[in-house]
Amino acid sequence: MFQERYQFWLNDPYFDEVTRSEVASLSDLKEIEDRFYTDLEFGTGGLRGILGAGTNRMNIYVIRKATQGLADLILEGGEESKNRGVVIAYDSRCLSDRFAQEAALILAGNGIKAYLFNGLRPTPELSFAVRHLHAQAGIVITASHNPKEYNGYKVYWEDGGQVPPDRADQILHCIKVHEHWNDIHPLPEKEARKRGLLIDLGEEMDSAYLKRVKELALYPDLAQEKGSKLSIVYTPLHGAGNMLVRRILTEMGYSVFTVPEQENPDSEFPTVPYPNPEISSTFDLARKYGKAQDAQLLIATDPDADRLGMVIRTPSGDYQQLTGNQIGILLTYYLITQKRRLGILPKNAVIIKTIASTDLADLMVKDLGVQIENVLTGFKFIAEKEQEMEDLGIGDFQFGFEESYGYLAGHFVRDKDAVIASLLLCEAALYYQETEGRSLLEILEEIYRRYGYFVDDQISMTLHGKEGKEKMKRMMTTLRETTVDSFGGLLIERIDDYELRKGKRIISPQENYLLSLPQSNVIRYSFQGGGFVMARPSGTEPKIKFYFNIRDANPLELQNTLERVKTDLLKLVAD
């Protein structure tokens, strides 16, 4: 089958000369098979893959087909859905602007209005714009924090959140209806503009979005009066965050220095291995400038500015990077305690986090008298839960986070938002520094002393191609079929299999129970006393991830315990 697809892309005049030349240059049969044996998988709300020609790569033809599938679903809603239209944003990656324009013109060719940002913008602003314009859907061209060889395509629905699994399945069905590639054509740009089907977005939307972000500040006067006392080094990592993150912080009163080598958009990301604020080396340049300027905080956003990483200066003058869980804990604690202090914490306040995020949050939030909800991994589930609470009139969302550096506050965005997180983190640091004479690290230590010390880590295995998918499947089968009662000497209390939607408590009193969350290929082992190990294959990347969250009363033993747990798990899944 892949040979037929290969020949079609090689010879059909629908594909441009550059694409056919790339296909013609392929000589390795294994690579040809990998490029054409399947369609790039539409999972967890979109596409993500390596740039290149082929059905299993990211290119304008895959973009066209995916967008036609989305268009078909929108057309089912009739004239109203067509007129509400689709908002499109893109980041600094290779071909992002071209892919965004192709998507817009495919929509226009179906008579669907397309709102296209006039330059790269953060993903959360796209979410805001969908809600602000009451659009039917949204598209973001981004591969988030992946290496430069990747690009991606994420779909949002009318609530501003990424499409949930059932909606994604509907889009996938529409995509699969189009068996042929050469019957999907974009409308010429001039014609699209003439018919009012292609509309530019710019400063007006930026201002509307930032106005709402500023309203989330708890102490705006403090920032105006003393914000310059908090020295901040910021790096957008060659991505979309520079304009809005720097603008919001500066306008609020903070002193911000932007890393010059990483300030401007660059699809090659030449100064980092890959643009992920989770990775320590991403902050190398920021650390250099931080030491030169004696900065208290170093912050970084990924290429589409939905994730935020932070490094804090220690008393010795070195810099310590915080994990996504630690940032989430600090922001959760700050928002709950300070809103209560100001008398603005609702009685039905709710914090939402994912099942991959630290158990420390559950202990802390419940102790602070606030409800906490756990959802599946992926920020769309946090946004979906927020929307559900809003629709039903139960609970008042205050904050959501996931361990992979995603955070959200407020009701006007339905995705993780590094612009919001930047503002709130800087405000928290300034508040504790100026009113209590303490740093965020000291606040974190206080939380650990009160609720227990936790350490978290992750192993991400990249397994390319058909063989990689089969290996991931074998790993998950092994976990499901093997009886385990401990990892690294830590006793397991319960095992939850979200694929089967069943859980079992394996210590006395033993019991089986049903899981209420939607089906997902995830297995989670919860330890007695808190902490967990979790296995989850990615829906958009050739990866399987293992999450570790370990608790110990003795912080000096945490790392040793973590290593023992990791060793036991890897032995179990080894071929």
Mean pLDDT, range 306-328, rounded to an integer: 97
**What's the whole-model pTM score?**
0.94
- List 157's β-bridge partners, or say none: 137
Mean pLDDT, range 204-233, rounded to an integer: 98
- Reported as half-sphere exposure (CB side, CA atoms, 13 A), residue 238 has a value of 21
Question: Which pLDDT band holds residue 542 (cuts at 50, 70, 90)?
Answer: confident
Rounded CA-CA distance 256/228 in Å is 9
242-252 and 203-214 are packed helices; what angle lies between their axes, rounded to 10 degrees? 50
Task: Express each pLDDT in 246-279 by its tens digit.
Answer: 999 999 999 999 999 999 999 999 999 889 999 9
Mind telling me the catalytic residues? 144
* Domain boundaries along the sequence of the chain: 1-29, 38-201, 203-451, 453-573
**Topology (CATH level 3) of domain 453-573:** TATA-Binding Protein (3.30.310)
Classify 436 in phi/psi space as left (phi over 0), alpha (psi -120 to 50) or beta.
alpha
Mean of the per-residue pLDDT values of the chain: 95
Sign of the C-alpha dihedral computed for residues 56, 60, 66 and 68 taken in this order: negative
More confidently predicted of 44 and 491 = 491
List of residues 6+ apart from 71 with CB closer than 8 A: 106, 107, 110, 112
Question: Which pLDDT band holds residue 17 (cuts at 50, 70, 90)?
Answer: very high
Rounded CA-CA distance 547/529 in Å is 17
Cα dihedral 555/367/358/531 (nearest 10): 60
**Closest among 341, 351, 362, 333 to 409, alpha carbons compared:** 351
| Residue 228: alpha-carbon gap to chain centroid | 31
**Closest among 245, 91, 93, 70 to 172, alpha carbons compared:** 70
**Which of 81-95, 223-237, 440-454, 464-478 is the least confident region?**
464-478
Do the domains at 38-201 and 203-451 have one common CATH topology?
A: yes
List of residues 6+ apart from 125 with CB closer than 8 A: 89, 117, 205, 206, 209, 244, 419
Give strand ranges (E) for 403-542.
406-408, 453-462, 486-487, 490-497, 502-505, 511-514, 523-527, 531-537
**Per-residue confidence (pLDDT) for residue 418, from 0 to 100:** 98
Q: What is the DSSP letter of 133?
A: T
Looking at the chain, the whole-number percentage of residues with pLDDT higher than 70 is 99
- HEC assignment per residue over 296-335: CEEEEECCCCCEEEEEEECCCCCEEECCHHHHHHHHHHHH
Task: Express each pLDDT in 60-109 by its tens digit.
Answer: 999 999 999 999 999 999 999 999 999 999 999 999 999 999 999 999 99
Give the angle 520-46-242 at the CA atoms, nearest 5°. 115
**Per-residue confidence (pLDDT) for residue 281, from 0 to 100:** 95
Rounded CA-CA distance 133/444 in Å is 40
Mean pLDDT, range 370-378, rounded to an integer: 95
Cβ contact 350:448 at 8 Å: no
Q: Which residue has the tokens 């209560």?
A: 340
Rounded CA-CA distance 345/263 in Å is 37
Is the pLDDT assigned to residue 44 strictly greater than 80? no
Rounded CA-CA distance 492/548 in Å is 13
**Per-residue confidence (pLDDT) for residue 575, from 0 to 100:** 67
Rounded CA-CA distance 439/296 in Å is 9
| Class at the top of the CATH hierarchy for domain 203-451 | alpha beta
Q: Which residue has the tokens 């009451």?
A: 134
Is the pLDDT assigned to residue 436 strictly greater than 70? yes
Does the bond joining 509 to the residue before it have cis omega, within 30 degrees of 0?
yes
Dig out the tokens for 170 from the structure.
């509907």
Rounded CA-CA distance 350/394 in Å is 10
Q: What distances in angstroms separate CA 33 from CA 61, 121, 203, one per listed residue? A: 18, 36, 45
**Per-residue confidence (pLDDT) for residue 267, from 0 to 100:** 96
Rounded CA-CA distance 465/463 in Å is 7
Q: What are the φ/ψ torsions at residue 72 (nearest 5 degrees)?
A: -60, -40
Rounded CA-CA distance 157/171 in Å is 11
Question: Which pLDDT band holds residue 539 (cuts at 50, 70, 90)?
Answer: low
Sign of the C-alpha dihedral computed for residues 353, 359, 361 and 362 taken in this order: positive
User: What would the CATH number be for the domain defined by 38-201?
Assistant: 3.40.120.10
Q: What is the DSSP letter of 435?
A: I
Mean pLDDT, range 303-310, rounded to an integer: 97
| Residue 499: alpha-carbon gap to chain centroid | 22
Rounded CA-CA distance 387/397 in Å is 9
Dig out the tokens for 306 from the structure.
């939905």
**Which of 180-189, 390-399, 419-428, 539-548 is the least confident region?**
539-548
**Per-residue confidence (pLDDT) for residue 179, from 0 to 100:** 83
Is the pLDDT assigned to residue 145 strictly greater than 90? no
Question: Which pLDDT band holds residue 541 (cuts at 50, 70, 90)?
Answer: low
